[in-house]
Structure 1
Amino acid sequence: MNPLAAVAAAIDAVRAHFADNSVEVTPDGAGGAYVIVNDIEIGNRYSPTVTWLGFHINAAYPASDVYPHYTGPLTRVDGQPHGQAIQTFDWPKRPGPGLQLSRRSNGWNPTVDNAALKAEKVITWLATQ
């Protein structure tokens, strides 16, 4: 599969996986794309409980991990600080402050891993922090 087709297939898979959500896609000019999935529910450990999730699918996909992920600003309802894998960050694709979620997949395997699955894993991980 050529790189552009792989990125397009990844975007289609994200849209299918998050069929109930609005998905924004912006080409990066280098064969990849920036993706934002809106209205992601992350449970009751954070305020707000709904945010957006953004990430970059680069032109090397599927041979490269989809990393990092970004959300809108969130605070923990228990008043504790975010853990070391979550930092405040301004992602230029979405104005204003947000969070960067550093969840690298060291064992990324392009035959089983994909952008939609990775996004779902990041959401599940965030909801349990």
Structure 2
Amino acid sequence: MASLKAGVAKAIEGLRNHFPDKSIEVCATVDGAAFVIVEDVPLGPPYQQDSTWVGFFLSTACPDDDTYPFYVRGDLTRLDKAMLKNPLHPGKAFPDAESTMPKRTSVMVSRRQRNQSCWSYEPPLLKLLTVIKWMLQQ
């Protein structure tokens, strides 16, 4: 594996510590960034699926940038058969850039941090937990 930038490595360590029972796949880029997939994240209602994988990219500026966007399983469907609520974007692939990680059909979860002054206060783990919480409230 390529050498990860310190902020990226620390963010991955935080993910592994928070999800010790989950498989976390990491694909480093040549510049020290990483594509990350957390497997088997609990989901359930309002979705038909009990769990999903969650994928995202940690840039070399981590943790001082916004971890965005997040991707989840491509077959995501709601129990009530309604369309996915915005800003969920089906028909995407993750990773969507050059990577040795196999591409997965996905739904992009568009949860951009709008308050740029607090990006450094929302590390990737907190952002991931915020996205999961938001998804479950849809």
The reply to whether TM is greater than 0.5 is yes
RMSD (CA atoms): 1.6
Could you tell me whether the CA contact under 8 Å between 2:65 and 2:120 is conserved in 1? no
Inter-CA distance 29–20: structure 2 relative to 1 (3 Å threshold):
same
Which residue does the alignment assign to 1:4? Answer: 5
Could you list the structure 1 runs, at least 4 aligned residues long, displaced by more than 3 angstroms after superposition.
92-96
Q: Does 1:102 align with 2:110?
A: yes
CA distance in 2, matches of 1:8, 1:53: 18
The answer to whether 1:25 aligns with 2:26 is: yes
Q: Distance in 1 between matches of 2:86 and 2:46?
A: 17
**Separation of aligned partners in 2, 1:111 and 1:27:** 22
Paired residue for 1:55? Answer: 56
Instruction: Give the Å deviation of 1:111.
Output: 4.2
Secondary structure of residue in 1 paired with 2:112? coil
Residue of structure 2 equivalent to 1:80: 82
Identical-residue share of aligned pairs (%): 35
Q: Which amino acid aligns with 2:126?
A: L
* 2:128 aligned residue: 119
TM-score, normalisation: structure 2: 0.85
Structure 2 segments unaligned to the other structure (5+ residues): 96-100
